[in-house]
Structure 1
Amino acid sequence: MNRLKSRATPSLALISSTILFSARQVAAHGGHEMEKIQEGEVMTQEPLDAILWTHILLMMLSFGIIFPTGMVLGITRNRWHVPTQVLGTAIAVVAYFLGHLHKGRVFAKNIHASFANTLMLMLVVQVVFGIYLKFHITKGFHGKIRKVAVHGHGIVGKAMPIVAWIQMLFGGITALGFCGGDHLGQCLAHFIMGSAFIGYAIILSIVLVVGQVWLRRCGRSQEFFDSTFIAAWGCFNTFTEHRWGSAWVANDFQHTAMGIIWWSSGLAGIWLSRKRYGAPKRNFIPGFVIFITGWGMSAHPQHLPISNMVHTMFGYTLMAAGLSRIIEVAFVLKDRNTISEDGEANSFQYIPPFLLTASGFLFMGATEEQMQLLNDNGIDHVSYVLVCYSFAVLVFLFTNMLLHLYSINSAPAVPPKDSEEGETTSRINGHTRATDARQVRDAEEFELEGLMSDDEGLESPSTLGKNNEGRVD
């Protein structure tokens, strides 16, 4: 025990001293450089230097790629989880220092710098939990503490990608000096709603690739959860899009009406998500809400021609996402959860998540200040839309890579059961014979038969997320 303590103390001390030293650097750096900022400005006009660019790239690498990858490896209990998270932590600490040692452009007090403390605190907590769990102390009082550490480690680890995404958005806003003063309200609306579209696309991808078994076990259809969220969000928008007590303008009418159609449609979707005797049922309502929202946004009045064009493309993309979702449910799946017995997704089913991701980036990139910046620099809407779609493709790709990583590490794929005719597969030597799948299953069942009582069932945490329903009772 003393040996374990001696090993843990230097690590914790190093982490604590790193954060404290960085905090002192923030105070010293900020207090000295603030004098360069002119009154009424949020930053100086100097360019970003190489150190700050390095900070940005390293933070995106650690929090945007390495930590999410390590999170998936941790969920699947892969042996590369710890090395991956150690690498991400080392890069994040270096990048944190660089963020306060740069020259060039100077920023006033901003939300990105303040929120960085929250993100780094989460990282410290995650590291402390990880070190403690690595000791595998389960006796006595440590047994109770370990349960708390396990849950805490899991919660913080899964929340970190979301918090990191928010911090990255804050970083971009701060670097450009956007979202201040009167622009704050519309800026919040664009980034919150755009992030919501991307988050919804990721959830759809998770359910599509690895979540069908969970969906079947909970006894609810996907549209029940979608419609519940739509109804709740619609109620919120109905009473918050107009500043009560002030005069109504065109945008207020549209936003409030959009909230009404959301909560009314959400209620209808909840009602239609059940069959006559309570079994889950698919319906078209979420796709319809996405479609009608896209139509409304495509006709939203704007101040600049380029803003009109970007909003129109956003609306068309969202309409396509809603229409493809309806086609998927009604015509591709025909009200089923999956199109194949092994749960493998049809290629058409990837279209709605991708288009929702693209819609999110287009909407986040269509704020007033961003459109003004494009207009002032002579950048056309076609080039800008293609860049937004490029970001969407990369995020869509990375999401599916993580889901594939989870799928191959959670459990090996199980061949479908042999048909009555007796399926045959080609052997390495070129001959064919009945598949070995049945023999493997028979052997497993024989071995497990004597180890399990009649009241026990086969349960493996590694198969809970797989779409292969044949492996889960």
Structure 2
Amino acid sequence: MEFFSITSITQQLIIWLLLIIPTIIAHEHEANLTGDIGATDDPIDGTLWAHIIFMSLAFGIIFPTGMVLGFSRSRYHVPFQLVGTFIATLGYFLGHAHEGRQFAGDTAHAAYATYIMILLMGQVCLGLYLKCHFESGANQWIRPMSVKFHRVIGICMPVVGYIQMVLGVITATGWCRGNKLGQCLAHFIMGSSFIGHGILLIIVMRFATEWLCRKGKSQDYYDSWVIMIWGFINTFMEHRWGTSWTAGDVQHTLIGIMWWSGGLLGIYLSRKGIKRNLIPSLIIIFTGYILSQQAQQLDISSEIHRMFGFTLIGAGIARLIEVCFLVVEKPITPFRSLCPFLLIISGLLFMGAHEDQILYLSTNDIDAFSYALIQITIAFFIFFAVNVMIDIYWMTGENDGESKYEIIGDEIIGDENTHNSSRGNKLKKEQNRDVLEGRNGMDGGDGGRGRFTSRNSSFIDDRHISINLNNDVRDNNVNIESDDDNERIRGEIEKKSDGFVVNYLLVGQHADEKSQDGDERTDEM
């Protein structure tokens, strides 16, 4: 079996990890502090620093990379996950062996640590089971379920790791205790939502364009769903129930209501086809302005909130310009990177603007602009890491060893051998950036159906257009020549306010068969 091809060192590592599970489950945390004091003033010793470094390395770098390698079916997926598990397990025990600074035993970071390690060990066991390729008997229904669980846990692990690292920072500093918990939740939840939204925009920009086309939905449709979900979370988690309401609680709760109501409107407006809408952009702008005007007790807090608000407004304006004036498909313009980058910066600024953090900055004479520079630096690293992860996916495993398409200025450089590929027939003219795509019909024929949208061409009148491709326009029909002399594309023109759409049929071999079974597709340029 393939399982026994793993090296002896790896086998010993696996056995060791399985043996320590009872120890992990049995370990208990001792509460050294209670009340509003979350940590002593003692310095962090070397053992605890090693714990911080190991856990950050495992959950911040190795596990996300291993997840990406798993998606690409790379042979390095298992080694990465095993190394990450070993480092995380070592870091877990180092976290209980430190001296120096002591912490309260009722922290969320300590409470969730054991469950995360159990989840991690379960993921390793599922991976080993799948590596054995058992397929007979009960494994015929156990294995498919295990594949799904393994994938879901793998996707959740970076998110779980991020939450635990944030909780680790809170625990190490002793923040967010007592009546400050609700205010901390407001900042960390909303700040994380902005960071997560920015990361999702990067993934969509670089990875999910074709997926959106296949789904027949616009990016704003899914953004509206994210905003609505986060709005519900903010509505019910910004206030600590059972305590008196403060002005900040009311404001953050109302922002949550604005989010889910606006998200609901955005979903409705983009429910049919690839329709862009302005609602996500407007929600971002409104949120930025409201939070930039919040009254604060300290000047440094007011400055940080203004910087956060203006950064968020800038992200919303950048998104507004993109929706109204820029093409959402390939090629990717540099301007499209502005909105997700500003969202990440604004999220970091807001996460670090809670009362305890502001008090720390004020006590240590750190001005708002120096603090903002630190957050911008972190945002650069996050933006860099996300793009590297996407490139790792395209360059490893079953993929072709290079990015799906590289963007150089306004040009698209991609795979030219698409004529008979399973992804469909493609006609590309890099000079005018017009792309025509379709899917293969029956029996591997050269035909397909699809739609072709262009904003690089202009209308002459309602029935005639000027197309920046080799073409012959007659009435509402257009013949476009392909690189293949035996291939013709015939389409019907549909006028749009910002360009035109050609509903086309690629005419070639087996045209009678493929015209009945070709898949329909929309590509907006």
Give the structure-2-normalised TM-score. Answer: 0.72
Using the TM superposition, give the Cα deviation of residue 133 of structure 1 relative to its aligned residue in structure 2, in angstroms: 1.1
Using the TM superposition, give the Cα deviation of residue 455 of structure 1 relative to its aligned residue in structure 2, in angstroms: 6.4
Distance 1:286 1:91 in 2: 40
In the alignment, what sits opposite 1:215?
212
* Mapped contact 1:201–1:352 kept (Cα < 8 A): yes
* Mapped contact 2:265–2:279 kept (Cα < 8 A): yes
Matched AA of 1:187? C
Distance 1:441 1:48 in 2: 58
CA deviation string 1:166-204 (max 9, x = no partner): 100110000001111000001111111111111111111
Structure 2: tracts of 5 or more residues without a match: 407-412, 423-439, 447-518
Distance 1:137 1:215 in 2: 36
- Confirm whether residue 327 of structure 1 aligns to residue 299 of structure 2: no
2:273 to 276, 279, 295: 279
2:359 to 372, 375, 381: 372
Distance 1:381 1:200 in 2: 25
CA deviation string 1:294-339 (max 9, x = no partner): 0001001111111111111110110000000001111122xxx31x
Distance 2:253 2:198 in 1: 24
* Mapped contact 2:36–2:178 kept (Cα < 8 A): no
Residues 359-398 of structure 1 mapped to structure 2, 5 A cutoff: 359-398=346-385
1:350 to 337, 344, 365: 337
> CA distance change for structure 1 residues 87 and 190 in 2, over 3 Å: closer, same or farther?
same
* Mapped contact 1:210–1:407 kept (Cα < 8 A): no
2:191 to 183, 190, 194: 194
In the alignment, what sits opposite 1:302?
296
* Mapped contact 2:314–2:342 kept (Cα < 8 A): yes
In the alignment, what sits opposite 1:258?
255
- Secondary structure of the 1:120 match is helix
Matched AA of 1:387? I
> CA distance change for structure 1 residues 52 and 268 in 2, over 3 Å: closer, same or farther?
same
Residues 152-167 of structure 1 mapped to structure 2, 5 A cutoff: 152-167=149-164
Distance 1:270 1:436 in 2: 33
Question: Which range is displaced more, 243-252 or 324-333?
Answer: 243-252
- Confirm whether residue 102 of structure 1 aligns to residue 98 of structure 2: yes
- Secondary structure of the 1:215 match is helix
Question: Which range is displaced more, 390-399 or 219-228?
Answer: 219-228
* Mapped contact 1:66–1:85 kept (Cα < 8 A): yes
- Confirm whether residue 50 of structure 1 aligns to residue 46 of structure 2: yes
Using the TM superposition, give the Cα deviation of residue 260 of structure 1 relative to its aligned residue in structure 2, in angstroms: 4.3
* Mapped contact 1:241–1:255 kept (Cα < 8 A): yes
In the alignment, what sits opposite 2:64?
68
Q: Percent identity?
A: 44
Using the TM superposition, give the Cα deviation of residue 106 of structure 1 relative to its aligned residue in structure 2, in angstroms: 1.4
In the alignment, what sits opposite 1:422?
none
Matched AA of 1:385? A
In the alignment, what sits opposite 2:88?
92
Matched AA of 2:395? I
Question: Which range is displaced more, 288-297 or 105-114?
Answer: 105-114
2:179 to 179, 182, 189: 182
Matched AA of 2:49? W
* Mapped contact 2:284–2:316 kept (Cα < 8 A): yes
In the alignment, what sits opposite 1:454?
442
Distance 1:250 1:415 in 2: 50
Using the TM superposition, give the Cα deviation of residue 261 of structure 1 relative to its aligned residue in structure 2, in angstroms: 3.4
CA deviation string 1:366-399 (max 9, x = no partner): 1101101111111111111111111111111101
> CA distance change for structure 1 residues 324 and 146 in 2, over 3 Å: closer, same or farther?
same
- Secondary structure of the 2:171 match is helix
In the alignment, what sits opposite 1:462?
none
* Mapped contact 2:17–2:86 kept (Cα < 8 A): no
* Mapped contact 2:38–2:173 kept (Cα < 8 A): no
Matched AA of 1:73? L
Structure 1: tracts of 5 or more residues without a match: 417-434, 446-451, 459-471
Matched AA of 1:176? T
Using the TM superposition, give the Cα deviation of residue 345 of structure 1 relative to its aligned residue in structure 2, in angstroms: 1.6
Question: Which range is displaced more, 146-155 or 313-322?
Answer: 146-155
Distance 1:127 1:284 in 2: 44
Using the TM superposition, give the Cα deviation of residue 40 of structure 1 relative to its aligned residue in structure 2, in angstroms: 5.9
- Secondary structure of the 2:52 match is helix
> CA distance change for structure 1 residues 108 and 456 in 2, over 3 Å: closer, same or farther?
farther
1:15 to 5, 14, 17: 17
In the alignment, what sits opposite 1:206?
203
- Greater RCO (Cα-Cα under 8 Å, separation 6 or more): 1
Using the TM superposition, give the Cα deviation of residue 87 of structure 1 relative to its aligned residue in structure 2, in angstroms: 1.6
- Confirm whether residue 403 of structure 1 aligns to residue 400 of structure 2: no
* Mapped contact 1:22–1:100 kept (Cα < 8 A): no
Distance 1:272 1:444 in 2: 35
Distance 1:217 1:62 in 2: 35
Using the TM superposition, give the Cα deviation of residue 58 of structure 1 relative to its aligned residue in structure 2, in angstroms: 1.0
* Mapped contact 2:25–2:118 kept (Cα < 8 A): no
2:306 to 312, 319, 338: 312
Question: Which range is displaced more, 107-116 or 316-325?
Answer: 107-116
Using the TM superposition, give the Cα deviation of residue 229 of structure 1 relative to its aligned residue in structure 2, in angstroms: 3.4
* Mapped contact 2:188–2:350 kept (Cα < 8 A): yes
- Secondary structure of the 2:20 match is helix
> CA distance change for structure 1 residues 225 and 105 in 2, over 3 Å: closer, same or farther?
same
> CA distance change for structure 1 residues 45 and 199 in 2, over 3 Å: closer, same or farther?
same
Matched AA of 2:223? D
Using the TM superposition, give the Cα deviation of residue 456 of structure 1 relative to its aligned residue in structure 2, in angstroms: 7.5
Matched AA of 2:140? G
Distance 1:192 1:239 in 2: 12
Using the TM superposition, give the Cα deviation of residue 135 of structure 1 relative to its aligned residue in structure 2, in angstroms: 1.2
In the alignment, what sits opposite 1:124?
121
Distance 1:270 1:355 in 2: 24
Residues 31-50 of structure 1 mapped to structure 2, 5 A cutoff: 31=30, 37=33, 41-50=37-46
> CA distance change for structure 1 residues 441 and 382 in 2, over 3 Å: closer, same or farther?
closer
* Mapped contact 2:183–2:238 kept (Cα < 8 A): no
Distance 2:76 2:132 in 1: 17
Distance 2:182 2:46 in 1: 33
Give the structure-1-normalised TM-score. Answer: 0.80
> CA distance change for structure 1 residues 52 and 23 in 2, over 3 Å: closer, same or farther?
farther
Matched AA of 2:71? I
Distance 2:311 2:240 in 1: 29
* Mapped contact 2:289–2:310 kept (Cα < 8 A): yes
1:171 to 141, 165, 168: 168
In the alignment, what sits opposite 1:423?
none
> How many matched pairs?
419
Distance 1:364 1:294 in 2: 14
